[in-house]
Structure 1
């Protein structure tokens, strides 16, 4: 009898992400009543503040729940992961230098960032070994770091973008992507962009993004984000991310057997987020008859850790 198994799991029996900040749902409110129908954002030039449907924000009424094609939460996560890593949500288990030479691992996790050692060790990895390249992160560790940073970005955004929960998901995505990429301190330096978003002048916000050093550094990523900010919708299907996880009763199936169940924002108010590793082990019976070796029945079972 021969046994085929997946690599042994050594840690993180069940990871429970607990946010130290108060979480509430990403809320896109219902479409307000307007005297005139809302223009199609995919065919309308972004307007000035207060122009319904043209990219403007009416202080007397929240943004419409839908302004053209939008994104799901999983699509938003995948978009950011694809921007941060060539391997998307699978991430990079081995340390590598980013475009600025910073040692990076997982899904854009900068090992030089403040608090990096504590974060790496919180998922059971050895910071010095990961940084030296003698230890790789597991798929479960990669996703745990990513999920925490994704929701931390949203929490930070809510402290500076006062209408964040009334934005379309396309505009929310742009802001999350920028916050995830550059961190809270650098994001807050975009004072004119932040001010433009807060008054609903999304065309101006896009121009402020375009005229920044960040746009020159990230290139095509900035171009996509500027378009999404100004249009408020995913007008070009090519801008939708590839490799979005499938979902089922057991949760969202991320790469390499990692499953994410629930979301701190799925039910609001601090709902819990579980991440676990799904492992399938198969055993195949082997026998010999008249000098000929043959394989018999294969039995498989799944464990969760």
Structure 2
């Protein structure tokens, strides 16, 4: 039976993620878990393949695991070697909770590494900025112009360029409000960081005057 529920449920006594959420704690660093805790609610939790809106080319399963993307088969078979990729992709078979978390942990690491490879000073940013960047890479909505602005330190221009995205503009028409909500979340984090940098700059200038 296909099910959907909160991906990272909390144990009331220990505060730890319950059930197979512990897979994440065994596989991921604390910072990567911080990314996962933000990304998971945006993605949802499905044991059986589903499609987002009118996109019929990218069957998705688990916590936003896209089985239609390039390299999906190789990654799936590497992480879950005992499962039939085609049977899962075609909807004939479902994944267990443990398998879903295992795939998710792999995807978090993969997209964190992608962000680190594209963003020159990724590890020097506050965790909340790193998380927003991984969230953007996970969904695939961060473009080369936005990446260039970040790498050039032009954070004051990052938010507007990031939201200048076809997926963001078309979200309402496609009845996919979650896209705008998610991208707005990332944009707010980028804006917050830009404001922090501006404040540091002003404080430094004021200090030099005194």
TM-score (norm 1): 0.47
2:72 is aligned with 1:121? no
Unaligned runs of 5+ in 1: 1-14, 20-24, 27-71, 86-90, 234-305
Q: Show the counterpart of 1:138.
A: 96
Unaligned runs of 5+ in 2: 1-22, 172-178, 195-210
> Larger Rg: 1 or 2?
1
Q: Deviations over 1:167-211 (max 9, x none)?
A: 1112111110111112xxx74xx2221122113222211110111
| Aligned counterparts of 2:124 and 2:167: Cα–Cα separation in 1 | 26
Please identify which structure carries the higher strand content: 1
Is the contact between residue 34 and residue 131 of structure 2 (CA under 8 Å) also seen in structure 1? no
Is the contact between residue 48 and residue 94 of structure 2 (CA under 8 Å) also seen in structure 1? yes
Instruction: Note the C-alpha offset of 1:92.
Output: 0.7
TM-score (norm 2): 0.67
The number of residues matched between the two structures is 158
Q: Deviations over 1:207-250 (max 9, x none)?
A: 101111132342111111101111039xxxxxxxxxxxxxxxxx
Instruction: Summarize the Cα distance change of 1:119–1:191 in structure 2 as closer, same or farther, 3 Å threshold.
Output: closer
Deviates more, 1:208-217 or 1:157-166: 208-217
Instruction: Note the C-alpha offset of 1:74.
Output: 3.0
Is the contact between residue 46 and residue 61 of structure 2 (CA under 8 Å) also seen in structure 1? yes
Q: Show the counterpart of 2:135.
A: 177
Q: Show the counterpart of 1:112.
A: 68
Instruction: Note the C-alpha offset of 1:73.
Output: 4.4
1:95 to 37, 43, 49: 49
